[in-house]
Structure 1
């Protein structure tokens, strides 16, 4: 099996992937704290991208649209410990704190090979071999330890972890123009723009005079065409960065839109 996930608790898991690459597009419901043991993780957002190697520890805040690509490297699988910092656990933690919270724009936090965090997450590995259930009180202690370390490392972390607000209704046009390349369910796009699915579809048609599916496909193909034509990238490099699930679906949609395949466009550019 290429991809294996072991849980010691619903909120703590060890993933092990040995295929070519594993891509997911998500806006997680929980903050996700990850310690990368081996392999490489690329995180692509609308404004910036990150590459993390072995020993890296990073936090992906909830509701942040991103394409996450996990890649085995140097003959080793992609192996990582991930901890979900749920709203329930964070509320319980911050109910006991006197934290002063400011409004903040969530961002990906990087804690490169930080010894305290690495030690905390590495201490979980022996528990994945347990046959019996992992005691909830110990899991709670480990998650509380991780949150406490994060607060000790970064004074701004409270502004993200202690914010429990749901997304407000925002400018749909600006949001979609910025995030169209992420292959999200329409319900998730609606939630992130502060709308129900029905309201999202209605407002979308008003803004773009099109259905979301047609508009998204067209925008993604236009971006892919630009990457191929202007940046000289290969189809295999860009299909997952432009919101397509696999190379064959991308090639089919591309040819239907432009009348030639991505490979044919490459040959045209090479000859000219």
Structure 2
């Protein structure tokens, strides 16, 4: 089965795996509600590491960078999740219909394990028929209704998440240096880094030049390559095991860039390090 399978376009997804999978997903764009049907799920961001197992639910906040690890458990044979995207345009409609106003900015954790409750369990049970019959035509109207139902149940169970769900403000301007040093390994366009730090592209480039003394793309490449060399020479990491985690799209691109900067291929660094240790 394709992973993930789109059940209601853009809204509800079903994920199935039989082997462990680690995904450096980069940008988590939407608020997202996840039910762990089976297996083990871990989300790691710069601020949190949060895990859940069979039967647990997680609310993931929007506009984050993170890594997902999906692991089937030996006694369950596979990994399954149901994922509901709470897209901003739908949340805006709900806010208008329900006359919801946010009087103070949400300051709690971006990712919240949802307490076990019959209401949300029943909600996810109502999604299962769509998963079992994915070939049937599902209208956008049904998707909107399912999101509204999920949001109302979330507010019933955890009222304080209203400030998280209905905060439609732009990301505020944050410490660019701290953010980039923590997130340089994500394979994102410079425009996305700019938005996540609360800046226009021009403002981001200007501030970046002042802080790092070079253009963002140049700095990102050099930072990733320097980190790669350290991992290879000091921690005996194989190039094939680290290039994706450092934001490179392919092993060939990584190897070419590495050799251009350091004068030798990453595999040559491994050989030299092994020789020194003998």
TM range (shorter): 0.7 to 0.9
- Separation in structure 1 between the aligned mates of residue 42 and residue 226 of structure 2, nearest angstrom: 23
Equivalent residue number for residue 105 of structure 2: 103
Asked if the contact 1:91–1:162 (Cα under 8 Å) also holds between the matched residues in 2, the reply is yes
Which of the numbers 122, 126, 143 marks the counterpart of 1:123? Answer: 126
Equivalent residue number for residue 161 of structure 1: 165
Range with bigger deviation, 170-179 or 181-190? 170-179
> TM-score, normalization: structure 2?
0.79
Report whether the alignment pairs 1:196 with 2:223. no
Asked if the contact 1:60–1:109 (Cα under 8 Å) also holds between the matched residues in 2, the reply is yes
Q: How much has 1:63 moved relative to structure 2?
A: 0.8
Cα gap change, 1:122/1:236 in structure 2, threshold over 3 Å: closer, same or farther?
farther
Asked if the contact 1:167–1:191 (Cα under 8 Å) also holds between the matched residues in 2, the reply is yes
Report whether the alignment pairs 1:31 with 2:34. no
Asked if the contact 1:31–1:86 (Cα under 8 Å) also holds between the matched residues in 2, the reply is yes
Equivalent residue number for residue 212 of structure 1: 216
Q: How much has 1:34 moved relative to structure 2?
A: 1.3
- Separation in structure 2 between the aligned mates of residue 156 and residue 268 of structure 1, nearest angstrom: 58
RMSD across aligned positions (CA): 3.3
SS in structure 2 opposite 1:189? helix
- Separation in structure 2 between the aligned mates of residue 32 and residue 234 of structure 1, nearest angstrom: 34
- Separation in structure 1 between the aligned mates of residue 193 and residue 71 of structure 2, nearest angstrom: 27
- Separation in structure 2 between the aligned mates of residue 244 and residue 113 of structure 1, nearest angstrom: 39
> TM-score, normalization: structure 1?
0.80
SS in structure 2 opposite 1:27? strand
Q: How much has 1:263 moved relative to structure 2?
A: 4.0
In the alignment of these two chains, the number of paired residues is: 271
SS in structure 2 opposite 1:35? strand
Asked if the contact 2:28–2:66 (Cα under 8 Å) also holds between the matched residues in 1, the reply is no
Structure 2 unaligned residues grouped into runs of 5+: none
Structure 1 unaligned residues grouped into runs of 5+: none
